[in-house]
Amino acid sequence: MPAQRELTMRQTRQILRLRHEGVSIREIGRRMAVARSTVQDTLKRAARAGLCWPLPEAVSDAVLEQSLFAGAARQRGARRRAEPDWARLALELKRPGVTLTVLWDEYQSVHPEGYGYSRFCDLFRALEKRLSPVMRQHHRPGDKLFVDFSGKTLPIVNPATGEIRQAQIFVAVLGASSLTYAEAVWTQTLPDWIGAHVRLLDFLGGAPQLLAPDNLRSGVNKASFYDPEINRSYAAMAGRYGIDVLPARPRRPRDKAKVEAGVRFAQIAILGRLRNRTFFSLAEANAAIAEALERINSHAMKRLNTTRRALFEQLEREALRPLPAARYEYAEWRLARVSLDYHVEALVAGREAIVRSGGSNEGVQRPGGQGFFYSAPHALIREQIDVRLTARTVELFHRGQRVAAHERRNAGSRHATIPEHMPSAHRRYAEWSPERFRRWAVGIGPATEGLILAILARRPHPEQGFRTCLGVMRQFRSLSTERVEAVAAHALHIGAFNGASIASIIATSAEQARSAPDSIGPHANLRGPRYFH
């Protein structure tokens, strides 16, 4: 380097001056803190070049160096070896089965007088040190996909209120090609975390062997050096695509150097370039991020003379697994216990849902949450089950077997009950409805229909009148149609709308019928009304 070369020439001038003044070689070495052999070599070079002190003013440091080391430079030039294309070798080393030994053998077959294996490896390692940490790590094509959230956020302005909300930046980097992906999401919670992964895999058009997240709570329930506990929903998503999850080890920064370097690069190339723009929606921000990503992946990397996109197409495209035909649908898993009414409750609050057993204190209802109840087979009462919630379905699992599936409710009746889940007695009762009672009453007569409708209408909820209607039907079973209509008409007239009152009317009418005299039929001795005319 220039500073070191200038210092060497100053030392050379001082050595020549001290020797001209009669100072011994040993003393010169002691004063200048250099070896005696170095002093001797410098004096010999000056003698061969015909240089002595004082040096002419025209002799600059460059001329002095040229005079002293011209011969050595010519010798070095004569021994110079053929240089391989180090950038190309760095890319070739990423291919499966390629090692430095293979690359050196190929180099030697073209340049037999080239570098030996040891020197070849030393020079390659020196090149690696000049590469960025992203490129320095060796990753097989299609092997690892590093994912994380950036620590920086992107402000999004609500156009209606002017309120500013900070969006999180999700970043992913492929191991071998360093192809980069980024997008803005509202939160770091599980739905946004998994949704970003699904869109990332669509962007790549394939799935890698491993996902390497940092120990984010949305992906890793418990960080561990030996046995990390992966979030169940995150593991289900990865399993759908045939991907294993291998979180970075705690306190091992080298494990995540790839994504951290990618995060820093994304912050510069994306957030830095977008800092002066104002976004009014997440979609608008992601459109701008997509343009920035295109610049990142199409920009030639230093010392490799190729782009991330070209590397991806060349090395990793074919190594990725094909994606399934249908996109993964986000699902959350919860534990619940089936309540005494054989239902579990899904509490919906904003974008999150929690599950608890109906009527129990398990779980905490969040402010503004609205619960919907889903039935399970009545034989599982008080059993613990797993609940899988998607945007459209609610599935119940017991010991790994699915025992119920419901369409997810967001409005309407809060209870979703499958008849097969009910005990037989409950099922018979559940078969009744206001319309069924009305159809039965219409078949008898208008007075009976009016009585049934009046009974149902006087209850806060129609189902509360079902038992009264069943009792009335039972009492009317042994009566003729005419008598049923008469009893019903009388009940409507006096406002008797419960089972006891109707039973009293039936009993009273029966007693009156028994005590009335028998009617006298036609007889020859009877005088008719014309007799008195």
Who has greater pLDDT, 194 or 353? 194
Q: What is the pLDDT of residue 62?
A: 75
Burial of 479 by CB count in 10 Å (0-12 exposed, 13-18 middle, 19+ buried)? Answer: middle
Q: What is the pLDDT of residue 530?
A: 55
Quickly state the pLDDT bin for 196 (edges 50, 70, 90): very high
**All structural domains of the chain with their residue ranges:** 2-78, 86-130, 144-316, 332-422, 432-515
- Among 5-9, 121-125, 322-326, 371-375, which stretch is predicted with the lowest mean pLDDT? 5-9
Using DSSP bridges, classify how beta strands 384-389 and 370-375 pair: parallel, antiparallel or unpaired.
Answer: unpaired
What is the strand order of the sheet 244-245 is part of?
180-185, 164-174, 144-157, 210-213, 244-245
Across 263-288, average pLDDT:
84
pLDDT at residue 157 tops 90: yes
- Among 78-92, 93-107, 328-342, which stretch is predicted with the lowest mean pLDDT? 78-92
| Mean pLDDT, rounded, of the chain | 78
SS3 437: helix
- Say which CATH architecture domain 144-316 belongs to: 2-Layer Sandwich (3.30)
Is 437 in contact with 451 (CB distance < 8 Å)?
no
Nearest CA-CA partner of 363 in 387, 342, 341, 379: 387
Across 453-462, average pLDDT:
78
Q: What is the pLDDT of residue 205?
A: 93
406-424 pLDDT per residue, tens: 988 877 777 788 888 877 7
Q: What is the pLDDT of residue 354?
A: 46
pLDDT at residue 435 tops 70: yes
pLDDT at residue 481 tops 70: yes
If phi > 0 it is left, if psi is from -120 to 50 it is alpha, else beta; for residue 79 that is alpha
Residue 293 neighbours by CB distance under 10 Å: 21
Q: What is the pLDDT of residue 119?
A: 81
Q: What is the pLDDT of residue 41?
A: 85
Is 490 in contact with 497 (CB distance < 8 Å)?
no
Percentages (nearest 5) of helix, strand, coil residues in the chain: 45, 15, 35
Q: What is the pLDDT of residue 61?
A: 76
SS3 151: strand
Is 9 in contact with 69 (CB distance < 8 Å)?
no
Residues 6+ apart with CB under 8 A from 506: 475, 479, 487
Q: What is the pLDDT of residue 360?
A: 37
Q: What is the pLDDT of residue 73?
A: 47
- Tokens (6 digits) for 450: 């009016």
Across 465-471, average pLDDT:
80
Rounded to two decimals, the pTM is 0.51
The most confident of 10-14, 203-207, 249-253, 309-313, by mean pLDDT: 203-207
